[in-house]
Amino acid sequence: MMPPPATSPSRRCVVIGAGLSGLAAAERMAAEGWQTTIVDAAGRGGGVVETVRDDGWLVERSADNFLTTRPEALDTVRRLGLDAEILPVQATARRALVLGRGRLHAVPAGFRLMVPGRLSSILTSSLLTPAGKLRVMLERFVPASTAADESLEAFAVRRLGREAFERLVQPLVSGIWTADPARLSMAAALPDFLAMEKRSGSLRAGEKTRLLTAGGMEGTAGARYGNFVTLASGLDTLPTRWCQALRSSGVEQLHARVTAVQRTDRFQIVLEPAQSPAADAGFASPSASVLEADAVILTAAAPRAAAIIRGISQPLADELAAIDYAGSAVVCLGYPRKAVAHPLDAAGLVIPRQERRKILAVSFSSSKFPRRAPADSVLLRVFLGGALDPEAATLDDATLIKRATSDVADLLGAEGAPTLARVERWEAAMPQYHLGHLERVGRIRSLVEGIPGCGLAGAALEGVGIPQVIASGQEAARLAMHTARTDSLSKA
Ligand SMILES: Cc1cc2nc3c(=O)[nH]c(=O)nc-3n(C[C@H](O)[C@H](O)[C@H](O)COP(=O)(O)OP(=O)(O)OC[C@H]3O[C@@H](n4cnc5c(N)ncnc54)[C@H](O)[C@@H]3O)c2cc1C
C-alpha cells in the first residue's frame, strides 16, 4: 500500500463501485494525491467476490481462485501483506474431468483449453474416437485464417474438428465464460490462442514455442492448475484487507447507490441513500445527496454504468447498454466424505452440451483447497445456467438443488441428502464478449476519453478474470488523471 502523499490533496475523485476494479482505481487515485471517495450500493468491498463462512464450511459465492500468470492480483495480495494466505490448487487436484457418452474421462494431460499440448495423451485418451483423434493430430496442417476475428466454435472446429470442439473445448471454455460458443469472440475472450495461430501457423506449434520459453515446466500434467491460487481464509480477505488499507490511507468509503452523474465545470454524482445498513461498517452513510468531483470512475456493471452516464453521453450509454450479460446459479453442496463414491481426485468436472445434462460443471472445492469443509466432509460447487440455459438462473432454490443433487448422485455417486445446500444466484453477472466486442470497446474508450476526468473499468471491457479487472481499474485511474490534467491545462 502506498503511503498517503505528504502534500494536502486538492483534487477530488469519486469511484463508483467497490468491486476489485473499483478498489484498484481508488488505490491508484489516492496514491497520486487525489482526495478519493468510493461509493458502493452494497456497502462493502469486493462486488461479486464474497466468502460465506458457516459452521466449518468455507463457501465462495462466486470466484474461488485467480490466475497468477498475470501479475496484478498476486502483486496486490502481496502489497497488502497477505503472502501467508496464498494457497495454490493442491497437487492431487491438478487435473479436470469431462463427461463423455455418460462416463467421466480425464482431460488429456497437456490439453490447455483448446491447445493439444501432448499428442501422446490425445492418442491414449478414452474421450475421443479414432477419427476425432486423427483430426486433432492434423491440427498442425490446418492453414491459419486471415480473418481478424472468429467465434470460438468456428475457430475450434476449423483447427481441431467438430468432435474435439464438442467433447472438450466447448465444456472447458463454457466453464469460464458461460457463453454461447457460436457468438463468443476469440479476439476479445481468447486472444492468446488467435495470436498463437497467426504467429506459429498452428496451436500445436505455438504451444511448443510457448513451452520452450516457459522452460518446459508447463507441459507437465496439471501444471496449469498450479497457476491458480486462492486465499486460505477465503477470497474476500483480499477486498476486506484492501478496504481497510484504503481507509487508513484516507480513502473515504460511502454506502449509497449512484443514480446519475452530471457535468458542469466539475462532475456531480447523484446519490440515493441505502435503505439497509452497510455490510461493512467502514462504509458510512453519505452526508450529502450530491458529491462534487474533478474525476469520476465508473466500475458498476455495464447496464448500470449506462444508466448513470446517460446524462453526460448518450452514445456512451448506448454502447454500454448493448453489452449482453448471462446469468448463472451455483449450488453449493456438502456431503460426508463417505457418502460420495468418487475419489474427487481432480479440480472438477465439466459437461459438454451434447451430454444433455441440466448442470454445466462441478468444482471439487474441498479437493482444490484445504479447509473448505468440516473434517470428513466434502464441498462441491455445481454450476447451472449460462448463455445457453438462461432460465436456470431464475429457477427456485428447491428446483436448482434437486437438479444439482440428482446429477451429482448420478455422476459422482453422492448418496443421501446433502448436509449443506446453498444456492448462489448470479443473474446477469457475466458479460458476454460477442463477436464485435473489441470494436465496441474501442468506441467506448474513445467516448470515455472525450469526457475529461472520466474513467471506466470492470469486467465488461477487456477480461473478466480477477487480474484483468484489477488491471482495468488501474488503467481507468491513469486515464482519468491524464484527461483531467490535460483539461485543466487547456482551461488555464
Ligand atoms: C459466479 C462467478 C464465478 C467467477 N469465478 C471466477 C474465478 O474463479 N476466477 C476469476 O478470476 N474470476 C471469476 N469470476 C469473475 C470475477 O469475479 C469478476 O469478473 C470480477 O470480480 C468483477 O469485478 P468488477 O469490479 O468488475 O465488478 P463487480 O464485482 O460486479 O463490482 C461492481 C460493484 O459496483 C457496485 N455498484 C453497482 N451499481 C452501483 C451503483 N449504481 N452505485 C454504487 N455502486 C454500484 C456493486 O455493489 C459492486 O460492488 C467469476 C464471476 C462470477 C459471477
| Residue 7: per-residue pLDDT | 41
| Residue 203: per-residue pLDDT | 94
Q: Cα of 458 to ligand 1 centre, how many Å?
A: 8
User: CA-CA distance, 378 to 390, in Å (whole number)?
Assistant: 29
On the question of pLDDT at 333 being above 60, the answer is yes
Mean pLDDT of 445-462: 97
Q: Tell me: do 268 and 283 sit in the same domain.
A: yes
286 domain-assigned: yes
User: CA-CA distance, 300 to 117, in Å (whole number)?
Assistant: 38
User: Best of 62, 238, 297 to mutate for ligand 1, by most ligand atoms within 8 A of CB?
Assistant: 62
Task: Judge if the beta carbon of residue 423 lies within 6 A of ligand 1.
Answer: no
User: CA-CA distance, 76 to 242, in Å (whole number)?
Assistant: 9
Q: Tell me: do 259 and 338 sit in the same domain.
A: no
User: CA-CA distance, 444 to 422, in Å (whole number)?
Assistant: 38
Q: Tell me: do 292 and 355 sit in the same domain.
A: no
101 domain-assigned: no
Task: Judge if the beta carbon of residue 274 lies within 6 A of ligand 1.
Answer: no
Read off the pTM.
Answer: 0.94
**Residue 42 CA: which ligand 1 atom is closest?**
47
81 domain-assigned: no
| Residue 8: per-residue pLDDT | 42
Q: Tell me: do 113 and 195 sit in the same domain.
A: yes
User: CA-CA distance, 229 to 42, in Å (whole number)?
Assistant: 26
Q: Which of 415, 414, 67, 391 is nearest to 225 (CA)?
A: 67
| Burial category of 49 from C-beta neighbours within 10 Å (exposed 0-12, middle 13-18, buried 19 and up) | buried
Give 314-325 pLDDT, tens digit per residue. 999 999 999 999
Q: Tell me: do 318 and 439 sit in the same domain.
A: yes
- Least confident range from 74-83, 198-207, 329-338: namely 198-207
Q: Tell me: do 422 and 334 sit in the same domain.
A: yes
Q: Which residue has the cell 479437493?
A: 367
Q: Tell me: do 164 and 134 sit in the same domain.
A: yes
The range of the structural domain enclosing residue 246 comes to 12-48+236-323+434-491
403 domain-assigned: yes
Task: Judge if the beta carbon of residue 178 lies within 6 A of ligand 1.
Answer: no
SS3 413: coil
On the question of pLDDT at 83 being above 90, the answer is yes
Q: Tell me: do 302 and 330 sit in the same domain.
A: no
Q: Average pLDDT over the chain, rounded to whole?
A: 93
Q: Cα of 171 to ligand 1 centre, how many Å?
A: 23
On the question of pLDDT at 218 being above 70, the answer is no
| Residue 175: per-residue pLDDT | 74
Give 107-163 pLDDT, tens digit per residue. 998 898 999 888 899 999 999 999 999 999 999 999 999 888 999 999 999 999 999
214 domain-assigned: yes
Q: Tell me: do 36 and 182 sit in the same domain.
A: no
Which of the listed residues 159, 194, 221 is the one where a domain comes to its end?
221
On the question of pLDDT at 220 being above 90, the answer is no
Q: Which of 278, 261, 347 is nearest to 14 (CA)?
A: 261
On the question of pLDDT at 2 being above 70, the answer is no
- CA atoms 43, 80, 247, 9: torsion sign: negative
| Contact by Cβ (8 Å): 460, 326 | no
Q: Could you give the C-alpha distances from 156 to 13, 57, 137, in angstroms and in order?
A: 44, 39, 14
User: CA-CA distance, 354 to 167, in Å (whole number)?
Assistant: 8
Q: Which residue has the cell 440455459?
A: 389
Q: Tell me: do 426 and 439 sit in the same domain.
A: no
Which of the listed residues 174, 196, 221 is the one where a domain comes to its end?
221
SS3 291: strand
Q: Tell me: do 293 and 357 sit in the same domain.
A: no
462 domain-assigned: yes
169 domain-assigned: yes
On the question of pLDDT at 88 being above 70, the answer is yes
| Contact by Cβ (8 Å): 380, 363 | yes
Question: Which CATH number covers residue 457?
Answer: 3.50.50.60
| Residue 215: per-residue pLDDT | 58
Give 43-53 pLDDT, tens digit per residue. 999 999 999 99
Question: Which CATH number covers residue 120?
Answer: 1.10.3110.10
179 domain-assigned: yes
Count how many domains the chain has: 3
Task: Judge if the beta carbon of residue 421 lies within 6 A of ligand 1.
Answer: no
- Least confident range from 218-222, 406-410, 434-438: namely 218-222
Task: Judge if the beta carbon of residue 260 lies within 6 A of ligand 1.
Answer: no
Strand pairing class (35-40; 12-16): parallel
